[in-house]
Amino acid sequence: MEEKKRTVTKVQSSRKAASEAAEEVKATGKKVEGMTKAEEKSKATTLRIVSAILWLVAIACEVLAILVVFRALRLPGLEKARIWWILGFIVVDFICCVIAGLLWKKASHLDPFSGKNKFLFFILSQLGAIMAAVCLLPLIIIVLTRKEDKLDKKTKTIVTVVACILLAIACLLGIDFHPLTAEQKADAAQQLSSFEKVYWTRYGHKYHLYEKCQAIRNSTDISYSEGEEIDGEYVPAVRVAMDNGCTGLCAFCARDAEKEGKDLKGIVLEDGTIAGADETANDLTVAPEE
């Protein structure tokens, strides 16, 4: 079998002394930071506030674009360049939506929402996509239903096509294809101290116990983390992986670990199920995350 060149990157806490961290970077490549629970929560809150502000800006741009459509806004050169004003507002609207959606998703993985109420969880975890629709769809509907005296046909077509394309992109980027519930994260947090070291790939959504796992064998960009103590709180390796977008344990690794006799009971697997859940339901009492 041919050996491919790969980088294996250690991901560790931000609290290590800068010099020590710099040295580790030199030795192993780039790194991602781990956080305590309190840090995760406060970072998630910040990200959510920024998202909310960006969505407000996006809605403001949408309103401005609609006002231009209705000729209710006086802007320099508006009559000659109406289409450019409308497109300009739509593009800013779109950019704000995309950034807000991505930040919102990041926050949802740092500090996940409870999955107990499935409907609420769906709304909150997919808010990026929903807000993209709120920030662009009304404008599209208004442009499409306007009479020709408000917008000429060419302007109408261009604005509609551009807005629809941007809406599709913003929605896709806003969807969380791997939503994580607070319960899953708590489940994992309870059990994951047993894994001292885990690996994941940049765009992967599962973490691995073995660097040689067949799912990541051909990946060239591997990150890893090791459990460590930060301010008296133990930050398990898997939590760092989860902060970086992983939602469950790789099925191949789970199988190999079981062969080795490791106890995986309570671990969230890559398909969202919990290992050993059918065997002993009593052992799965989950401690709520503080």
User: Where does this chain bind Zn ion (CB under 5 A)?
Assistant: 208, 213, 215, 250, 252-253
Residue 185 beta carbon to Zn ion: minimum distance, rounded to whole angstroms: 20
With a CB cutoff of 8 Å and minimum separation 6, the contacts of 267 are 187, 188, 191, 192, 249, 254, 274, 275, 276
Q: How many Cβ atoms sit within 10 Å of the Cβ of residue 18?
A: 8
Give the 3-state DSSP-derived string for 24-93, with helices as H, strands as E and coil as C.
HHHHHCCCCEECCHHHHHHHHHHHHHHHHHHHHHHHHHHHHHHHHHCCCCCCCCCCCCHHHHHHHHHHHH
- Does the CA dihedral 146-152-154-155 come out positive or negative? negative
137 or 215, CB closer to Zn ion? 215
Residue 210 beta carbon to Zn ion: minimum distance, rounded to whole angstroms: 6
With a CB cutoff of 8 Å and minimum separation 6, the contacts of 191 are 264, 265, 266, 267
Q: Which of 222, 130, 118 is nearest to 176 (CA)?
A: 130
Residue 20 beta carbon to Zn ion: minimum distance, rounded to whole angstroms: 29
30 or 212, CB closer to Zn ion? 212
Residue 258 beta carbon to Zn ion: minimum distance, rounded to whole angstroms: 13
249 or 274, CB closer to Zn ion? 249
Residue 32 beta carbon to Zn ion: minimum distance, rounded to whole angstroms: 18
Q: How many Cβ atoms sit within 10 Å of the Cβ of residue 263?
A: 12
256 or 289, CB closer to Zn ion? 256
Residue 273 beta carbon to Zn ion: minimum distance, rounded to whole angstroms: 16
167 or 213, CB closer to Zn ion? 213
Residue 277 beta carbon to Zn ion: minimum distance, rounded to whole angstroms: 20
- Tracing tokens 């980088």 back to the chain, one arrives at 7
